[in-house]
A and B are shown apart, each in its own frame.
Chain A
Amino acid sequence: MLAAPYVARAAQPRVVVIGGGAGGATAAKYIAQKTRGAIEVVLIEPSKTYHTCFFSNLYLGGFRSYASLNQTYAKLASAYGVRVVHDRAVAVDRDHRLVRLASGPNLPYDRLIVSPGIDFVEGSVPGLTLKAAAARAPHAWKAGPQLQRLKAQVLAMKQGGTFVMVPPPDASRCPTGPYERVSMIAHVFRRHNPSAKIVILDPKEKFSKQALFQTGWESYYAGMIQWLPPSITGGLLKVDIEQLQFTVDLDTFKADAASIIPAQRAGRIAQMAGLTDATGWCPIVPATMQSTIDDNVYVIGDAASAAAMPKSASAANSQAKVAARAVCHALLQSEMHPARFLNTCWSLIAPNDGVKVGATYRAGAQRIEPVHSFISQNDEPDALRKQTYEEAIAWYDSITADIFG
């Protein structure tokens, strides 16, 4: 019943959404909710359970259970009438407006929303295949089973051992995530393995919320964490993944456990659909999130080139609402308002020490532009940091309800 009759399609326009993460699920829900059946919404997502990447570091630190990160699609279907198809989109025929599913059928669309998240770039870490890295040094950058493997490896690391973290180069999902992850692993080590060391072999010279993290690391985990940018190491030259040996220009680090987060680009289906440019990401029209390559296609979330907006669940959720409104306007001539975007990235440095960075954005002619920004300060009282952490927990509940409920 996937390929609905053409007549039915003409009477009721169909929007197909590829990817049920923070972007795709929000877009599907908002279109279905606002149009109450006037648009048929089909969401294509292989997994029945979505493991949120956001807050997955808190599971590593022992602040959240694994089960608390699981979301499902039941409400999108029952409360809003989204047709959730648990299948994989394997091709897009943009000329004929068809999405081909792994199980066989072609699904016609009037408008397509592409929200596939990220894919990893093979060969981005010298001497390393993605498959080998995933087993020995899990990126855990899509949550799920790799996250559990990483946690097990952290807990099993020998006393006084060394953990090596390799963050990804820009642009990447969740720019503050690698450093929050280091904070959470340091928190675990401080309790269970106090003489352990963490070495960060960073391909970047600076990172988001750097001053906040480094001040926190000095006060909570003094002497445990070493952050080494390429100006100090000369850059990562080679990884012997079996021995967990990391060779940089001037030194070699032997790790007892590790996490390597490879370079990233738009999810594979966006590449196959021809929606990416030379950067590996999808160029978009800021006012609508339409692909600059195809007016009938919208790209949201991590896969989109959203200029100053970071690749985060918060950003994807915000972009999804702009795209949802633009799709409704295109198909039903409903009211259109100027696009407004919001992003907030939360990080936990230690128990009850939360920090945030974020901004509001507007659609410029060429790119999404920041309007007002905010960031936690280094000299904040403890009570404010605790309040920020509590805000983050409330944010998780409200954004997952907004996306999935």
Chain B
Amino acid sequence: MMAYKRKAKTNTIMQAIAQSLSDEEISALAAFFGSLETAPRKNR
């Protein structure tokens, strides 16, 4: 997410999402996803 925010990665949608988040919010997201024990279930 930080790479998108700095535009080091190029997907424009991800850049727009990342730029609307503060560094603290990105850290919080990382902590949340890191806390998940199992991979998300496939929906289809």
Contact = CB atoms under 8 A, between A and B. Distances in A.
Interface of A: 340, 342, 344, 356, 358-360, 362, 371-374, 391, 397, 401, 405
B43 A372 contact: no
Given A340-B20, A360-B20, A362-B20, A374 B43 contact: no
B16 A360 contact: yes
Contact of B20 (A356, A372, A397): A372
Contacts of B19: 360, 371-372
A401 B43 contact: yes
* Chain A interface, DSSP helix/strand/loop, else mixed: strand
B31 interface: no
A154 B35 CA distance: 53
A356 B14 CA distance: 13
* Chain B interface, DSSP helix/strand/loop, else mixed: helix
Contacts of A340: 20
Interface centre among B13, B19, B44 (most CB of A within 10 A): B13
Given A342-B16, A374-B12, 4 more contacts: A360-B20, A372-B16, A372-B20, A405-B43
Contacts of B16: 342, 358-360, 371-374
A374 B44 contact: no
Given A344-B13, A356-B13, A358-B13, A371 B44 contact: no
A210 B6 CA distance: 29
Interface centre among B17, B43, B44 (most CB of A within 10 A): B43
A374 B13 contact: yes
Interface string B17-36: 10110000000000000000
